[in-house]
Every structure is written in structure tokens, then in C-alpha cells.
Amino acid sequence: FSLNSLDSVLSSLKNCQSYIHTGMHTATHVALDLVESFNDVEDVNSMENVMLEYAAMDRELNHYITAVEETVNQIKREKPENMPDLKNLVKEKFTALEMKNSDSDLQSNEKFVYFKDQLKEMRKQCKFYLKKIHYLAIEQIDEDIAVTQSQMNFICPITQMEMQRPVRNKICGHTYEEDAIQKIIQTRKQQKKKVRCPKIGCSHADVKESDLVPDEALKRAIDSQNKQ
């Protein structure tokens, strides 16, 4: 059987999915801009709704992709004498997957989780900024202490230098310079050894590349501090 039609469908679906992921990336940056500019909470919440809509589309596309791939595997495995109705086969598998949908699926979408996490971090940075203004108005010494404490979070535990491209470990929450932690992971991988979190006092002993995510909120805070 020629399965070119299904291959074409898969290619189109995956291409469409890349547009959705780009949209989610853009929505995340817009939401961070809104928080950073102290916009109304409703404006930020509207971006969260946009992200949930994207997550729903992403889930639907994933189900289509899975349905098509399962159909291809079924045909290759069973090798029927006559070509079955591919459209119905895909539809049946897709419907079965959609029946299992729940709201928690959207909340656990990887990019939505990242969106929520970065919003939380951005709000922390903004609260610090407001406190810094308050300290400055009351006593310069307090302001200097606050700035020093904040800048300590900008230092990579590996390079001991200010981070340019911070990434955060989803497991323990610590941040590192991307290139520095990647080099350690690659070196230890070649030695067939695990990587312990470089942050002093952290007990996490198995840092994986897949656990690292860009910390956009921290990067913005560092850039903002440098501009000031």
C-alpha cells in the first residue's frame, strides 16, 4: 500500500503545530511585558486565556498526529489484502483520544506550565522593584542592601559571574549560565556520571538537560538592573 497521503497529512499537522508553539512563545513574552509594565491584572489574565486556547489546539493536533501514526502502524502490522478506509480509521482513533480530554490536560501542557512559572518569577522581580523604590525613598542604606541581595541571584554558581543566558532547573529551582551547565552535563555524560546541582547546599544529584528551561523573567531582571 502507498501511505504517501498519510505522510503528507503528518507533515502538514506537524507544520501547523510549529505555528501554535510559536504563538504560545509570543503570548508568553507579551504577558511578561504586561507584568513588567505593571498593566492591569485583567490584561495579563487575558493572555492566560489565549495560552489555554493554544493548549487546546495543541492537544487536538497531538491527537490527530497520534491517530494518523497509529493507523500507519496498524496497516504495516496487519498488512490487509485490501486498502481500508483510512479516513474512518483515523477518525475512530482520533475520537477515542478526544473522549479522554479533561481540563487538567490543558493545565499540564508543557508550554502553559512554563508560561505560569515565568509569570510567577516576573511578578517576584516586579515586587522587588517596588520594594527597592520604597527603600530608596526611606533610606539609601536599605536600598543598597536590597540591590546587593538581588544581584546575588544574578550570579551563576558555576562561573561566579553575572548570567547572560540563565536557565533554571525545574527540579530544584536553581539557575545557571546555560553554556556552563551544558558543558558540565556533556562532560559528565561522556564519563557516564551524573551531575550534581552546582548550587551550594542543594541535594539534587541528577541534573538533566531536559530539566533546564530558559528563565526569561530573571534575564529581564538582569537586563533591567544593568540599564539602571
DSSP for 118-130 reads: HHHHHHHHHHHHH
Q: Decide if 68 contacts 13 (C-beta within 8 A).
A: yes
- Is the pLDDT score of 206 beyond 90? yes
Extract the C-alpha cell encoding 107: 493545565
Instruction: Please compute the mean of the pLDDT values over residues 72-88 and round it to a whole number.
Output: 86
pLDDT value, residue 180: 95
So what's the pLDDT on residue 56?
96
Give the chain's mean pLDDT: 85
pLDDT at 143: 46
Pick from 102, 110, 96: nearest CA to 28: 110
- E strands in the chain: 166-169, 175-177, 212-214
Q: In the chain, pLDDT over 90 holds for what percent of residues?
A: 56
Predicted pLDDT at 39: 72
- Contact (CB, 8 A) for 150 and 225: yes
Average pLDDT value for residue range 104-125: 90
Model confidence band, residue 156 (pLDDT cutoffs 50, 70, 90): very high
Query: Is 80 exceeded by the pLDDT of residue 216?
Result: yes
- Domain positions in the chain are 3-125, 166-226
What are the pLDDT digits (tens) for 35-61?
Answer: 888 777 888 889 999 999 999 999 999
CA distance 92 to 73: 15
Domain at 166-226, CATH from 3.40.50.10300, 3.30.365.10, 3.40.50.1970, 3.30.40.10: 3.30.40.10
pLDDT the model gives residue 147: 45
More confident residue, 80 or 168: 168
Per-residue pLDDT for 138 more than 80?
A: no
- How far out from the chain centre does Cα 101 lie? 22
pLDDT at 128: 61
Confidence of residue 144 (pLDDT cuts 50, 70, 90): very low
Contact 49, 115 (CB under 8 A): no
